[in-house]
């Protein structure tokens, strides 16, 4: 019979759901605490999401931005990991229901992060592809490379153009960085790899419903970023929303249409809440309402940190903190400290967000960063971007492999990992099927008879 088989302990048990930035920082900060730490995740690795777009565009191998969770905590005695799907919370009985059995907790911390938000547009949800998981990024790489290969097999523009048109929706960091990487593919890879391809047919679009790209940053930075993107050949459409998409024809809010077989959706995320939480705490955006110590509304021992937590205690962020890695890391650490305070009988400290600024890279030698009012752009910003990301990447091996890929790419203009590990799916609907077939919601455990 399947059961979590967690070791008995007299210490209070803190169950953390999700091994992202929030979850691992919390678990680490409980290293010395007199608690039993139980981390659950559907995957066995921590994913460094900021570099997902480089996996999707054949710049990095998937393994280099994933770090085995057991590896991170192998020295932490009070830590226990289980690979599991969380189903729901039984708050009344302090039980977490999962596909590997019920797990009793003293403190429960939800850190499941966020998922792609299609804002209820079923047509787009069915035909577009999001980029939040490693398998999605790998499948996008397979799919994009396959579009290039297939483009050689047709002579009529009407067929080739949609295969070579790549549309990012949403001009946040992900959309901007993806668009920049696609522009680089066109400039440096295609002419060498596909001399026979009508390169002029390849288009890279970045579509943003709002007035500017990188809306989280300053007007000036937005302007510079847009200019930089257009300079490398990205068609940036602002104040234009996507109305509909059938897998080939993309209809825009201004009535115009685009023909594309590749629509990558980075226009929004939503919290990944689970059943069993108090009605009042569940918000329409999938996040849960927490107080300034990350305690979920109307609960006394269930917390939420990172993307999934909506905390409003800062006039700079009236709608809650942005769903970014910085907030997740800081909330994880802070909650860890607070658990230690509780155990020592001390008072809890409310969360204060230290905004360390933000950055985005726009293709080779170009990035924008903002930190404490200081705005950098161009080469210096690009170097800063690389340093910051390398430092934050977990694991010495991963750091080295990523650095080598970057150095190699810098000098050769090449992208080493442009391989189709499985031949990509035939179309974007099949692509989504492969992903979800590959990553099913149902538990998949066999017990021998």
Region binding a second copy by CB under 8 A among candidate stretches 268-276, 318-326, 355-363, 399-407: 399-407
Query: For residue 117, what are its two tokens?
Result: 């938000």
Region binding a second copy by CB under 8 A among candidate stretches 22-30, 324-332, 357-365, 408-416: 408-416
Per-residue binding letters, 61-100, with a second copy (x by CB under 8 A):
xxxx-xxx-xx--x-----x-xx----------------x
Per-residue binding letters, 131-150, with a second copy (x by CB under 8 A):
---xx--x------xx--xx
Catalytic residue among 61, 136, 177, 208: 177
Measured from the CB of residue 80, what is the shortest distance to a second copy in angstroms? 8
- Find the binding residues for a second copy in span 207-266 (CB under 8 A): 248, 259, 261
User: How far is the C-alpha of 446 from the C-alpha of 441, rounded, in Å?
Assistant: 15
User: How far is the C-alpha of 210 from the C-alpha of 170, rounded, in Å?
Assistant: 9
Distance of CA 4 to the CA centre of its chain: 28
Q: What's the half-sphere exposure (Cβ side, CA atoms, 13 Å) at 374?
A: 7
Whose CA is closest to 248, among 177, 163, 318? 163
Instruction: Check residue 355 for interaction with a second copy (CB under 8 A).
Output: no
Give 153 or 347: the residue with its C-beta nearer to a second copy: 153
> 289-308 burial string, b = 16+ CB within 10 Å, else e?
bbbebbbbbebeebbbbbbb
| 177 flagged as catalytic | yes
Measured from the CB of residue 374, what is the shortest distance to a second copy in angstroms? 35
Measured from the CB of residue 401, what is the shortest distance to a second copy in angstroms? 6
Per-residue binding letters, 276-295, with a second copy (x by CB under 8 A):
--------------------
Q: Which residues contact 248 (CB under 8 A, 6 or more apart)?
A: 162, 259, 260, 261
- Find the binding residues for a second copy in span 147-166 (CB under 8 A): 149-150, 152-155, 158-159, 162-163
Measured from the CB of residue 143, what is the shortest distance to a second copy in angstroms? 11
User: How far is the C-alpha of 10 from the C-alpha of 285, rounded, in Å?
Assistant: 38
Measured from the CB of residue 407, what is the shortest distance to a second copy in angstroms? 9
- Find the binding residues for a second copy in span 416-445 (CB under 8 A): 416-423, 425-427, 430, 434, 437-440, 444-445
Q: Are 303 and 290 in contact (CB under 8 A)?
A: yes
Q: Which residue has the tokens 């910085």?
A: 326
Helix, strand, coil percent values for the chain (each to nearest 5): 35, 20, 40
Give catalytic residues, as residue numbers.
177
């Amino acid at each position: 019979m399947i059961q979590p088989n967690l070791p008995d302990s007299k210490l209070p048990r803190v169950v953390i759901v999700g091994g992202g930035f929030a979850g691992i920082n919390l678990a680490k900060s409980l290293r010395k605490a007199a608690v039993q730490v139980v981390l659950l995740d559907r995957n066995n690795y921590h994913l460094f999401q900021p570099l997902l777009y480089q996996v999707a565009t054949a710049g990095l191998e998937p393994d280099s931005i994933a770090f085995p969770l057991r590896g991170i905590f192998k020295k932490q005695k009070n830590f226990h990991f289980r690979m599991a799907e969380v189903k729901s919370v039984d708050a009344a009985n302090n039980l977490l229901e999962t596909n590997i059995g019920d797990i009793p907790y003293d403190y429960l911390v939800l850190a499941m992060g966020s998922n792609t938000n299609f804002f209820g547009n079923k047509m787009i949800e069915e035909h577009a592809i999001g980029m939040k998981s490693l398998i999605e990024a790998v499948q996008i790489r397979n799919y994009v490379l396959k579009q290039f290969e297939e483009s050689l097999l047709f002579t009529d523009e009407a067929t080739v153009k949609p295969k070579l048109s790549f549309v990012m929706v949403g001009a946040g960091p992900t959309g901007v960085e993806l668009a920049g990487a696609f522009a680089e593919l066109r400039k440096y890879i295609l002419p060498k790899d596909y001399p026979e391809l009508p390169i002029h047919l390849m288009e890279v679009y970045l579509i943003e419903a709002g007035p500017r790209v990188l809306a989280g940053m300053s007007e000036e930075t937005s302007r510079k970023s847009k200019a930089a993107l257009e300079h490398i050949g990205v068609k940036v459409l602002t104040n234009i929303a996507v109305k509909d998409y059938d897998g080939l024809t993309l209809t825009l809010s201004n009535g115009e249409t685009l023909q594309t077989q590749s629509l990558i959706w980075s226009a929004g995320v939503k919290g990944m809440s689970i059943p069993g939480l108090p009605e009042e705490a569940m918000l329409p955006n999938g996040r849960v309402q927490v107080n300034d110590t990350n305690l979920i509304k109307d609960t006394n021992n269930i917390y939420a940190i990172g993307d999934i937590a909506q905390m409003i205690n800062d006039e700079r962020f009236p709608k809650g903190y942005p769903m970014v890695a910085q907030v997740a890391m800081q909330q994880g650490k802070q909650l860890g400290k607070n658990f230690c305070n509780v155990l020592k009988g001390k008072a809890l400290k409310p969360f204060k967000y230290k905004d360390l600024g933000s950055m985005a890279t726009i293709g080779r030698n170009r990035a924008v960063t903002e930190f404490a009012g200081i705005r950098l752009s161009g080469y210096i910003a690009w170097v800063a971007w690389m340093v910051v990301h390398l430092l934050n990447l977990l694991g010495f091996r991963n750091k080295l492999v990523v650095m080598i890929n970057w150095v190699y790419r810098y000098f050769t203009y090449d992208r080493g990992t442009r391989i189709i590990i499985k031949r990509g799916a035939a179309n974007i609907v099949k692509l989504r099927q492969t992903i979800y077939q590959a990553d099913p919601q149902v538990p998949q455990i066999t017990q021998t008879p």
